[in-house]
Amino acid sequence: MTIETETNSVLNNVKQAFAPVTEAFTKLQNMEVPEATRDFVKRAAGTAKDKAADFQANSEKVTSAIETAVSNSVSEATKISRNVQDAFYADVQSFFAGIDKLASAKSLTEAFQVQTDLVRAHGEVLSSRAKASTEYLGKLVSEGAKSAQDNFSKATSFAKSA
Protein backbone atom coordinates (compact mmCIF):
# COMPACT_ATOMS: atom_id res chain seq x y z
CA MET A 1 0.00 0.00 0.00
CA THR A 2 1.31 3.35 -0.94
CA ILE A 3 0.94 6.66 0.80
CA GLU A 4 -1.43 7.87 -1.90
CA THR A 5 -3.69 4.88 -1.45
CA GLU A 6 -3.66 5.31 2.32
CA THR A 7 -4.47 9.02 1.97
CA ASN A 8 -7.38 8.27 -0.38
CA SER A 9 -8.60 5.60 2.01
CA VAL A 10 -8.54 8.04 4.96
CA LEU A 11 -10.35 10.71 2.88
CA ASN A 12 -13.01 8.19 1.85
CA ASN A 13 -13.52 7.20 5.48
CA VAL A 14 -13.90 10.88 6.51
CA LYS A 15 -16.37 11.48 3.65
CA GLN A 16 -18.39 8.45 4.69
CA ALA A 17 -18.38 9.52 8.33
CA PHE A 18 -19.68 13.02 7.45
CA ALA A 19 -22.02 11.86 4.67
CA PRO A 20 -25.15 12.16 6.86
CA VAL A 21 -24.22 15.72 7.89
CA THR A 22 -23.50 16.72 4.29
CA GLU A 23 -26.81 15.20 3.18
CA ALA A 24 -28.69 17.06 5.95
CA PHE A 25 -27.16 20.40 4.89
CA THR A 26 -28.07 19.72 1.27
CA LYS A 27 -31.67 18.94 2.20
CA LEU A 28 -31.82 21.98 4.50
CA GLN A 29 -30.69 24.28 1.69
CA ASN A 30 -33.37 22.96 -0.63
CA MET A 31 -36.12 22.89 1.99
CA GLU A 32 -39.10 25.17 1.28
CA VAL A 33 -40.44 27.53 3.92
CA PRO A 34 -44.21 27.12 4.37
CA GLU A 35 -46.47 29.94 3.10
CA ALA A 36 -47.94 30.52 6.58
CA THR A 37 -44.47 31.07 8.01
CA ARG A 38 -43.57 33.57 5.29
CA ASP A 39 -46.87 35.42 5.84
CA PHE A 40 -46.27 35.54 9.60
CA VAL A 41 -42.79 36.99 9.12
CA LYS A 42 -44.13 39.57 6.64
CA ARG A 43 -46.92 40.64 9.01
CA ALA A 44 -44.54 40.84 11.98
CA ALA A 45 -42.10 42.94 9.96
CA GLY A 46 -44.95 45.19 8.75
CA THR A 47 -46.22 45.69 12.30
CA ALA A 48 -42.71 46.49 13.53
CA LYS A 49 -42.28 48.95 10.67
CA ASP A 50 -45.60 50.65 11.54
CA LYS A 51 -44.66 50.85 15.23
CA ALA A 52 -41.30 52.39 14.30
CA ALA A 53 -43.08 54.98 12.13
CA ASP A 54 -45.53 55.77 14.97
CA PHE A 55 -42.64 56.09 17.41
CA GLN A 56 -40.86 58.47 15.03
CA ALA A 57 -43.98 60.59 14.54
CA ASN A 58 -44.66 60.79 18.28
CA SER A 59 -41.01 61.60 19.00
CA GLU A 60 -41.22 64.41 16.47
CA LYS A 61 -44.33 65.79 18.21
CA VAL A 62 -42.64 65.76 21.61
CA THR A 63 -39.48 67.34 20.19
CA SER A 64 -41.56 70.02 18.49
CA ALA A 65 -43.40 70.75 21.75
CA ILE A 66 -40.10 71.05 23.63
CA GLU A 67 -38.67 73.24 20.89
CA THR A 68 -41.69 75.53 21.04
CA ALA A 69 -41.51 75.79 24.82
CA VAL A 70 -37.79 76.57 24.77
CA SER A 71 -38.21 79.03 21.93
CA ASN A 72 -40.98 80.81 23.81
CA SER A 73 -38.86 80.90 26.96
CA VAL A 74 -35.92 82.44 25.10
CA SER A 75 -38.24 84.95 23.45
CA GLU A 76 -39.76 85.92 26.80
CA ALA A 77 -36.31 86.22 28.41
CA THR A 78 -35.29 88.52 25.56
CA LYS A 79 -38.40 90.66 26.09
CA ILE A 80 -37.73 90.89 29.82
CA SER A 81 -34.10 91.86 29.23
CA ARG A 82 -35.12 94.51 26.71
CA ASN A 83 -37.75 95.92 29.09
CA VAL A 84 -35.22 96.09 31.94
CA GLN A 85 -32.76 97.92 29.68
CA ASP A 86 -35.48 100.35 28.56
CA ALA A 87 -36.54 100.98 32.16
CA PHE A 88 -32.95 101.60 33.21
CA TYR A 89 -32.48 104.07 30.36
CA ALA A 90 -35.73 105.85 31.21
CA ASP A 91 -34.63 106.11 34.86
CA VAL A 92 -31.27 107.59 33.88
CA GLN A 93 -32.98 110.09 31.56
CA SER A 94 -35.42 111.01 34.33
CA PHE A 95 -32.57 111.45 36.81
CA PHE A 96 -30.71 113.86 34.53
CA ALA A 97 -33.91 115.77 33.75
CA GLY A 98 -34.42 116.10 37.52
CA ILE A 99 -30.87 117.40 37.95
CA ASP A 100 -31.59 120.03 35.28
CA LYS A 101 -34.78 121.09 37.07
CA LEU A 102 -32.99 121.27 40.41
CA ALA A 103 -30.21 123.32 38.86
CA SER A 104 -32.72 125.80 37.50
CA ALA A 105 -34.44 126.29 40.90
CA LYS A 106 -33.99 129.86 42.17
CA SER A 107 -34.76 129.23 45.83
CA LEU A 108 -34.46 126.51 48.41
CA THR A 109 -38.26 126.22 48.56
CA GLU A 110 -38.46 125.76 44.79
CA ALA A 111 -35.65 123.15 44.90
CA PHE A 112 -37.49 121.29 47.66
CA GLN A 113 -40.72 121.34 45.59
CA VAL A 114 -38.86 120.03 42.49
CA GLN A 115 -37.29 117.24 44.57
CA THR A 116 -40.68 116.30 46.05
CA ASP A 117 -42.29 116.21 42.59
CA LEU A 118 -39.43 114.04 41.27
CA VAL A 119 -39.71 111.55 44.15
CA ARG A 120 -43.51 111.34 43.69
CA ALA A 121 -43.18 110.85 39.92
CA HIS A 122 -40.50 108.19 40.41
CA GLY A 123 -42.71 106.39 42.95
CA GLU A 124 -45.61 106.39 40.47
CA VAL A 125 -43.33 104.97 37.77
CA LEU A 126 -42.12 102.22 40.12
CA SER A 127 -45.69 101.41 41.14
CA SER A 128 -46.76 101.23 37.50
CA ARG A 129 -43.81 98.96 36.67
CA ALA A 130 -44.59 96.68 39.61
CA LYS A 131 -48.21 96.37 38.49
CA ALA A 132 -47.20 95.68 34.87
CA SER A 133 -44.60 93.12 36.02
CA THR A 134 -47.15 91.32 38.18
CA GLU A 135 -49.64 91.14 35.30
CA TYR A 136 -46.91 90.00 32.93
CA LEU A 137 -45.67 87.30 35.30
CA GLY A 138 -49.25 86.14 35.86
CA LYS A 139 -49.68 85.83 32.09
CA LEU A 140 -46.39 83.92 31.78
CA VAL A 141 -47.33 81.52 34.57
CA SER A 142 -50.74 80.94 33.01
CA GLU A 143 -49.26 80.33 29.56
CA GLY A 144 -46.50 78.17 31.05
CA ALA A 145 -49.05 76.04 32.90
CA LYS A 146 -51.11 75.65 29.73
CA SER A 147 -47.99 74.75 27.73
CA ALA A 148 -46.88 72.27 30.39
CA GLN A 149 -50.35 70.71 30.42
CA ASP A 150 -50.32 70.40 26.61
CA ASN A 151 -46.81 68.92 26.62
CA PHE A 152 -47.76 66.49 29.39
CA SER A 153 -50.83 65.47 27.39
CA LYS A 154 -48.69 64.91 24.28
CA ALA A 155 -46.08 62.97 26.24
CA THR A 156 -48.79 60.83 27.85
CA SER A 157 -50.39 60.03 24.49
CA PHE A 158 -46.90 59.30 23.16
CA ALA A 159 -46.22 56.88 26.01
CA LYS A 160 -49.55 55.12 25.49
CA SER A 161 -48.98 54.64 21.78
CA ALA A 162 -45.38 53.44 22.18
pLDDT at 106: 83
Residues 156-160: contacts with CB under 8 Å, at least 24 apart: 157/58, 158/58, 158/59, 158/61, 158/62
Dump pLDDT digits (tens) for 148-157: 677 667 666 6
pLDDT at 2: 65
Dump pLDDT digits (tens) for 60-84: 777 777 777 667 667 777 787 788 7
Q: Which residues contact 85 (CB under 8 A, 6 or more apart)?
A: none
Q: What sign results for the dihedral spanned by CA atoms 68, 71, 75, 77? A: positive
pLDDT at 61: 77
> How far apart are the C-alpha atoms of 97 and 85, rounded to whole Å?
18
| Per-residue confidence band for 30, with pLDDT thresholds at 50, 70 and 90 | low
Q: How is residue 60 annotated by DSSP? A: H
Query: How many residues does the structure list for the chain?
Result: 162
Higher pLDDT, 11 or 106: 106
Separation in Å, CA 77 to CA 82, 84, 104, 140, 143: 9, 11, 41, 11, 14
Is the pTM higher than 0.85? The answer reads: no
pLDDT at 29: 64
Dump pLDDT digits (tens) for 93-124: 888 888 888 788 788 888 888 888 888 888 88
Separation in Å, CA 125 to CA 121, 133, 142: 6, 12, 26
